[in-house]
Amino acid sequence: MRVVFFGTPQFAVPSLQILLDSPHGDVVAVVTQPDKRRGRGSQLTPSPIKTLALAHDIPVWQPPRLRKDGDTLALLEASQADFFAVVAYGQLLPPSVLAMARLGCINVHGSLLPAYRGAAPIQWCLYHGERQTGITTMLMDEGMDTGAMIQTLPLEIPLVMQAQELADLLAPLGAKLLRETLEQRWAGNLTVTPQDSSQATYAPLITKEHYCLDWHRSALDLHNQVRGFFPHCTTSLQGQGLKIKGTLPLGLGLTLPEAYGDLQGWSLDPTIAPSPPPPGTLVGLIKQRGPVIQTGAGALLLTQVQLAGKREQSGWDFANGLRLQVGDRLGS
């Protein structure tokens, strides 16, 4: 099988690696996003996919806009590829490109389609509190993740799993399905299932506005926002920016993970309960755990935080270092 691989982030690396390791395929080129400036020095940094491709002496093409890059389009046409394999590439493939691969364009998507079509399925499924997600391979068409489904593989989501951890679990599952899908298509025994677009939901690009925490929301909603948009969610304390990187919702009757079993029956101090303070108020300090913040419904334990200009630390170390007290306020 002659394969051109389209992909960019770490999530796509296991899929490229499994094709490189396969005795049945030949990755003839890789298409990825242009290098980006990252870090304090703003140095140009290649994508993880480019780094892996170069380590295997595979040609790498990086068009800023694929549909308008004549040179890359000509190279794709000349590649004589049987498949284009697409995993989190970051650009839509125009119809002219979709038609170039002899046996089609196969996409690996990080959700159980038709749920969470779009750019950020892992983040949005967590934000909405889904308890199950998975991987879908599909035969690409001109739409945004609208192609016929080939294989799916579900995965249960624990209450405290954040986006990066979920991506790390889904990535190798996607690689496994990609290899199986290509081999089935190559053997001519592929079965596809059209998507039911009436059941579709969407996962749009995430913007900075999505990172701001509103303490009037429920503890569970805030928890899902923090883990979905990890590690970027922010609030403020005493006029300083504060990133919230780990949380646990309390007082909502949820079944907590075993590691937090001692907090299963947690409730607000009865001296506070008759008149709950405004959302954003620190209402408790749990030893070796961290500060507990009042929300619009329930309370939120802060387990990992990062004050502006400081290193990430546990909620307990953070509370001790600043000598936080019941009554302190987060947010504006």
Question: Residues forming the annotated binding site?
Answer: 111-114
Q: Say how far apart CA 85 and CA 30 lie, in whole Å.
A: 10
Q: In 10 A of CB 39, how many CB atoms? A: 7
Residues in binding site for (6S)-5,6,7,8-tetrahydrofolate: 111-114
Q: What three-state secondary structure class fits 107?
A: strand
Rounded to 5 degrees, φ, ψ at 148 are -65, 135
Rounded to 5 degrees, φ, ψ at 211 are -85, -15
Tokens at 130, concatenated: 């889904």
Q: Say how far apart CA 205 and CA 98 lie, in whole Å.
A: 23
* 247 contacts 300 by C-beta, under 8 angstroms: yes
Would you call the peptide bond into 154 cis, given omega within 30 degrees of 0 as the criterion? no
Quote the crossing angle between the two packed helices 13-21 and 163-187, to the nearest 10°: 40
Q: Which string of DSSP letters, residue by residue, matches 120-153?
A: -HHHHHHHTT-SEEEEEEEE--SSSS-SEEEEEE
Rounded to 5 degrees, φ, ψ at 71 are -65, -45
Tokens at 14, concatenated: 């296991």
11: CB partners within 8 A, 6+ apart: 87, 88, 110, 167, 170, 171, 174
For residue 288, the one-letter residue type is Q
* 303 contacts 328 by C-beta, under 8 angstroms: no
* 272 contacts 207 by C-beta, under 8 angstroms: no
Tokens at 182, concatenated: 């290509």
